Amino acid sequence: MATRTAAQMREQAKVEYDAYLAACPSRQLLDRISDKWVGLVLSALAGGPLRYGELGRIIAGVSPKMLTQTLRGLERDGLVERRVTPTVPVRVDYELTELGRSLLPVMRAIKSWAEQHMDLVNAARAEYDAAPATA
Amino acid sequence: MATRTAAQMREQAKVEYDAYLAACPSRQLLDRISDKWVGLVLSALAGGPLRYGELGRIIAGVSPKMLTQTLRGLERDGLVERRVTPTVPVRVDYELTELGRSLLPVMRAIKSWAEQHMDLVNAARAEYDAAPATA
DNA sequence: CGGTATCCCCGGCGATACTG
DNA sequence: CAGTATCGCCGGGGATACCG
């Protein structure tokens, strides 16, 4: 066995780096908000509490599974609150918490940059895609 | 067959909604910056131009394929510029464009929120995970 | 040095059917 | 009404090997 191979050392470094990445707050946040449905749910909830079914209708393309999964994730992170009213047919409302609302400005910043610059990005893409040869 | 089934109408609505989502600037931006390596590359490049190999070493856990793929995507979007110096062994530098630099404040906003609030999020997670029964 | 091309595998997304 | 459980598929991610 003798010396550890370069591959082994690299492997080791990689594992550590992955662990480091997983612990990075920015990455954690990006992982959360980059989820396909999170942004939609957040902005839907920005206007006030909504029931499960209402969210499903507003968001339209979401399956019950993904909606629940998204909601659970957000609840777990303390960004939304799940409030159950035990009436005859149960009624469940979801609402942004204080923490969840504090995230809205960030979402707005993202939206703002996107609206101001995405046309440039799209132009760059078009140009890039249209360049088959010659500088 | 007569009437279109509810499933068909739902399908239709979903396709349209997906198209709408795909066109949403915020979603496009999120799709880009939420990429595992994009944030790393951007912040690495924030300090000035770097060579391909340097990026690979700084970022550590990245495979050549992913590094190239990330770089190409960013170049295509006009966020980084690829500069080739045709010396004997080729030399390639990557550098943020003006557009790319304009994105840095947004990244900082994300980082800032994360650093200020992720401990609350993690606390919420711990509490959530520790709640097996009773309110 | 700076990539490209290929293969494989895993995880996540969505659809469906069913329950309290 | 508000979910949960299960299945299948598809695509992206990483490792590896190889070119200019």
Radius of gyration over every alpha carbon of chain A, rounded to an integer in angstroms: 22
H-helix or E-strand spanning residue A132: none
Cβ pair A125:B78 closer than 8 A? yes
Mean pLDDT value across residues B78-86: 96
Radius of gyration of chain B (CA): 22
Neighbours of A26 (CB within 10 A): 20
The confidence score (pLDDT) of residue A132 equals 63
Which of chain A's residues 60-119 bind strand D, using a 7 Å CB cutoff?
64-65, 68, 71-72, 82, 89-92
The answer to whether the Cβ–Cβ distance between B30 and A28 falls below 8 Å is: no
Residues 66-85 of B with CB under 7 A from strand D: 66, 69
For the B29-128 domain, the top CATH level (class) is mainly alpha
Question: What integer pLDDT is reported at residue A53 of this predicted model?
Answer: 96
pLDDT band at A4 (very low <50, low <70, confident <90, very high): low
DSSP 8-state class, residue A133: S
Coil, helix or strand at residue A116:
helix
Does the beta carbon of B123 lie under 8 angstroms from any beta carbon of chain A? yes
Per residue in A51-69, pLDDT (tens digit) is 999 999 999 889 999 999 9
Please provide the distance, in angstroms rounded to a whole number, between the alpha carbons at the two ends of chain B: 51
**Strand C bases, protein C-beta under 7 A:** 1-6, 13-17, 20
Q: Which of A17, A76, A106 sits opposite B109 (nearest CB)?
A: A106
What tens digit of pLDDT does each residue of B85-107 get?
Answer: 999 999 999 999 999 999 999 99
Q: What is the dihedral of CA B69, B16, A105, A23, to 10 degrees?
A: -40
Q: Nearest nucleotide by C1' from A61 CA? A: C14
Q: Is the pLDDT of residue B44 over 60?
A: yes
Using one digit for the tens of pLDDT, what is the confidence trace for A70-111? 999 999 999 999 999 999 999 999 999 999 999 999 999 999
Structure confidence at residue A135 (pLDDT): 46
